[in-house]
Structure 1
Amino acid sequence: MGRLAAASLVGTAIEFFDFFVYGTAAALVLGPLFFPTFSPLAGTLAAFGTFAVGFVARPLGSALFGHIGDRYGRRPVMFASLVLTGCATVAVGCVPSYATLGITAPLLLLVLRFLQGLGLGGEWGGAVLLTAEHAPEGRRALWASFPQIGPPVGFLLANGVMLALSAGLSDAQFREWGWRVPFWAAGLLAAGGLLLRSSLAETPQFERLAAEGRRAGAPLAEVARDHWRLVLLTAGALAVGYAVFYTVSTWALAYGTEQLGIDRTVMLVCVMGAVAISGVVTPFVAILGDRHGRRPLCLAGCAASALWMFPMVGLLHTGRPVLMFLGFTGALLAFITMFAVVAAYLPELYEPRVRCTGAAVGYNLAGVLGGALTPIVATAVSSGGTGAPWGVAAYLTVVALVSLGCFALLPETKPAARTESPEGVPA
């Protein structure tokens, strides 16, 4: 289990490094470089638009790789998704700016960002199921939480490299070539991840399905026919987690640097500190999920998010690093209270024959609802005013309440407490 968990964590961290480094670049430099004819606000919105394309591609990737995972095994998904995401990320670092290619430059960004999202859409399902289906029932939330540590690690790597480059280079150097370095580094990271994953074994549950001839012939069609309500509920339930995380990690960076005039190094340090804390507490929250159930923690995380959004925005607007860090940390602790256990929760909601497709589609559809739209909506809502952007807080609070309602309609799946079928909600 230790080797499986490590391989899942490292691979997920690498893929999220690829995904997050684009978000940081979108917040800091992509607008002026690839949309120079736009106003600063419009350029930022356009850059976040290319950022959102990755989220739109993720459900498509989960359907594509979910089919592979349910038909041919969880293990092949972990290799194919890592190769696709790594190659697309390296290519982003090679795209010339608008000054060189004109309109072709942002179009290439769109295509490569789409491929990034396609690969990441498959990664989560493969990595989570490889650990969850090997793990003993009483420790499933703990072991399955290790892939969930991957996103904070990937974020810290991405932003740590950006921070070092931002601090060590002049503004002109950073804009000219410095921002590209993390994208080029993704190739080396992907190669290391593939090497680590080369010795992993297929999960016992999939091998049993294959031996008994019970694999789904068309997993996506089966999920759409028999589990559509469950997919929509899980997508709505998880939307707040994405909304909170990308408000902190992406929109807040742009708002702090552009609207409040805070140095980007200061903003990166505040956000990175909060993300690091969320990563450290993830396995401890997962242990609570094994003891007390998945659903109670998810409900608590949604409620905490709804209560904390206005304080977080107020603390951000002060522009004081300690207070901003406090606001970000509170938000991400609420977020991780949910997301530490969803890697065990979602697979348990679906029957094994369509688990890779159903869990991944629900998870990544939530990314469209919460992750793709939030930076765009928050940037539009917060523009032009001189006071704190309370509209952003109101938007996030509404998302949290909607997610709370969706979680309330989902069943508990903790093995000792399960009282109904794992595929969950009656149609």
Structure 2
Amino acid sequence: MLADPPAHTASPAHRSGLAKAFTASLTGTALEWYDFAVYSAASALVFPQVFFPSSDPLTGTILAFSTYAVGYLARPVGGFVFGRLGDILGRKQLLVITLLLIGVTTFAIGLVPGYSTIGIAAPIALVVLRFAQGVAVGGEWGGAVLLSSEYGDPRRRGFWASAAQIGPPAGNLLANGALALLTAALSKSQFESWGWRLAFLASALLVGFGLWIRLRLEDTPIFKAMQESGDRPDAPISEVVRTHPRRLLAAILSRLAPDVIYSLFTVFTITYGTKILHFERSTVLIAILIGSGCQLLTIPLAGAVSDRINRRLLYAIAAVGGLVWTVVFFPLIDGGSRLLLIIGIVVGLTFHSFMYGPQAAFITEQFTIHLRSTGSSLAYTIAGVFGGALAPLIFTTLLSRFDSWVPLAVYILVVTAATLLGIVLGRDPDPDEDEQYAELTEKLTPAAVSAT
């Protein structure tokens, strides 16, 4: 267990921007993940019928999840492009661009005609727009994490960095809430015909709100100190690969189990619950809503706990717990009990929270300050390809071939082992590095560091 060192006292200028930075990181990421999550849920609910008609329901679902995976495959592009810009131009600028990009593409998805109207052009357009969504989300995460954590005390980074981590369950809550409301208010034919589009079109209002918040915020004091010191890298991608290969690998591997477990409980469960266990769609969505609502509390709690005890130890315990719960989950819900379905998802997402809450701090701590945005973005997006991108597709394929949940549990065992290896390879935090930059920041004029 790590000692709990004295907290670094932020200047009044830092404190004045901290609440704004935390809010901007949380709300902007939540709005972007609303867009991403509404696509994920629609992949299980309507896209097989609208864009990939097939006589075999599981085949249509596999094709729909293939477009879901495209969003993850595109993330490294966003990580490469926007991650390096975060270290060169600043955290704020890239966050405005990524929010605009995902808002436009999500709105456009809501307008794409179905396969019955324009044929093969429909799924092609869907794939192109999904790719653009993935690029935006890939560029978003690193900047959002640094936006909140670089305003806060580096010895409390687990909590402050968790602002961006709250975004996905908050976005998932909004997305599944919108879809649950639509499925309850409309008939099945109305929802599949046009009702699902309303959830995508509503993103225009949400993204507008997020832009209003982000445009009012200054860049982080740490980045401004980097500007003053001239410590910005010229070729951050090559420098990360050349000087931080072990840390990059550790950060990538640490993401796999959380990604896969999250996909299991929030994406694949919709398919498994409706097609195999014959739950109503609204029943499964409500269970996911409840689990996501709980994560709004458990993720920042986990981040705060990781500031008190060894972050890597907490992460490892949660990874093992998530694996064990997966083995419990499937037999638990096979009886068709709604209550057990809710309990199963809530507990599964709680284990996910105790990995995901500390994850942002753990990943950013692997890289030196002048390479944080690039290194964090690369690790996050590359891991997404091997984790979240393939997980729903692998889950569905294994279920279709073996007609059993056991191979799914074996798959989670493999990714959990990889994540534990990443935790072992990683390093513990070094707050002194941030405090040296903080001292430099104190020398700047108040106008230069004020977030107002």
TM (norm. structure 2) is: 0.89
Q: Is the 8 A contact 2:365 2:428 kept in 1?
A: no
Out of 206, 226, 240, the position equivalent to 1:209 is 226
Q: Is the 8 A contact 2:247 2:427 kept in 1?
A: no
Return the letter of the residue paired with 1:169.
Answer: L
4+ runs deviating over 4 angstroms:
none
Residue number in structure 2 paired with 1:415: 431
Residue number in structure 1 paired with 2:314: 297
Residue number in structure 2 paired with 1:423: none
Q: Is the 8 A contact 2:86 2:143 kept in 1?
A: yes
Change (3 A) 1:15 1:375: same
Judge which range, 409-418 or 121-130, deviates more. 409-418
Residue number in structure 2 paired with 1:47: 64
Judge which range, 226-235 or 41-50, deviates more. 226-235
Hey, what's the Cα distance between the residues in 1 that align with 2:243 and 2:346?
Answer: 39
Residue number in structure 2 paired with 1:284: 301
Judge which range, 356-365 or 113-122, deviates more. 356-365
Out of 35, 48, 60, the position equivalent to 1:18 is 35
Q: Is the 8 A contact 2:176 2:288 kept in 1?
A: no
Q: Is the 8 A contact 1:70 1:357 kept in 2?
A: yes
How far the C-alpha of 1:263 sits from its partner, in A, is 0.4
Equivalences for residues 15-414 of structure 1 within 5 A: 15-37=32-54, 39-383=56-400, 388-413=404-429
Return the letter of the residue paired with 2:347.
Answer: G
Hey, what's the Cα distance between the residues in 1 that align with 2:55 and 2:35?
Answer: 26
Return the letter of the residue paired with 2:416.
Answer: A
Change (3 A) 1:162 1:196: same
Deviation readout 1:152-173 (Å, 9 max, x if unpaired)? 1100000000000001100010
How far the C-alpha of 1:37 sits from its partner, in A, is 3.8
Hey, what's the Cα distance between the residues in 1 that align with 2:241 and 2:431?
Answer: 26
Question: 2:20 aligned with 1:3, yes or no?
Answer: yes
How far the C-alpha of 1:234 sits from its partner, in A, is 1.3
Give the match's secondary structure for 1:145: helix
Q: Is the 8 A contact 1:55 1:368 kept in 2?
A: yes
How far the C-alpha of 1:139 sits from its partner, in A, is 2.1
Give the match's secondary structure for 1:371: coil
Hey, what's the Cα distance between the residues in 2 that align with 1:397 and 1:306?
Answer: 6
Change (3 A) 1:309 1:37: closer
How far the C-alpha of 1:60 sits from its partner, in A, is 1.2
Return the letter of the residue paired with 1:104.
Answer: A
Return the letter of the residue paired with 1:278.
Answer: Q
Change (3 A) 1:38 1:69: farther
Hey, what's the Cα distance between the residues in 1 that align with 2:134 and 2:231?
Answer: 30
Return the letter of the residue paired with 2:32.
Answer: E
How far the C-alpha of 1:128 sits from its partner, in A, is 0.6
Residue number in structure 1 paired with 2:449: none
Structure 2: which 5+ runs fail to align? 1-17, 435-452
Deviation readout 1:153-197 (Å, 9 max, x if unpaired)? 100000000000001100010001111111101111111100011
Deviation readout 1:186-225 (Å, 9 max, x if unpaired)? 1111111000111111112211222222211111121122
Q: Is the 8 A contact 1:301 1:334 kept in 2?
A: yes
Give the match's secondary structure for 2:234: coil
Return the letter of the residue paired with 2:155.
Answer: G
Hey, what's the Cα distance between the residues in 2 that align with 1:147 and 1:292?
Answer: 21
Return the letter of the residue paired with 1:390.
Answer: V
The CA RMSD over aligned residues, in Å, is 1.6
Return the letter of the residue paired with 2:298.
Answer: V
Give the match's secondary structure for 1:340: helix
Hey, what's the Cα distance between the residues in 1 that align with 2:406 and 2:432?
Answer: 43
Q: Is the 8 A contact 2:263 2:391 kept in 1?
A: yes
Hey, what's the Cα distance between the residues in 1 that align with 2:123 and 2:412?
Answer: 29
Structure 1: which 5+ runs fail to align? 419-427
Hey, what's the Cα distance between the residues in 2 that align with 1:180 and 1:330?
Answer: 31
Hey, what's the Cα distance between the residues in 2 that align with 1:204 and 1:217?
Answer: 20
Q: Is the 8 A contact 1:243 1:371 kept in 2?
A: yes
Q: Is the 8 A contact 1:10 1:193 kept in 2?
A: yes
How far the C-alpha of 1:357 sits from its partner, in A, is 0.9
Hey, what's the Cα distance between the residues in 1 that align with 2:311 and 2:430?
Answer: 6
Deviation readout 1:323-346 (Å, 9 max, x if unpaired)? 112221221111111111122222
Return the letter of the residue paired with 1:215.
Answer: R
How far the C-alpha of 1:417 sits from its partner, in A, is 13
Return the letter of the residue paired with 1:329.
Answer: V
Deviation readout 1:114-152 (Å, 9 max, x if unpaired)? 000000011111111011111112322211111111111
Deviation readout 1:66-88 (Å, 9 max, x if unpaired)? 12111100010110000001101
Give the match's secondary structure for 1:177: helix
Return the letter of the residue paired with 2:224.
Answer: E
Hey, what's the Cα distance between the residues in 1 that align with 2:244 and 2:387?
Answer: 21
Return the letter of the residue paired with 2:423.
Answer: F
Return the letter of the residue paired with 2:256.
Answer: A
Q: Is the 8 A contact 1:152 1:278 kept in 2?
A: yes
Hey, what's the Cα distance between the residues in 1 that align with 2:433 and 2:122?
Answer: 54
TM (norm. structure 1) is: 0.94
Aligned-pair identity (%): 38
Give the match's secondary structure for 1:411: coil
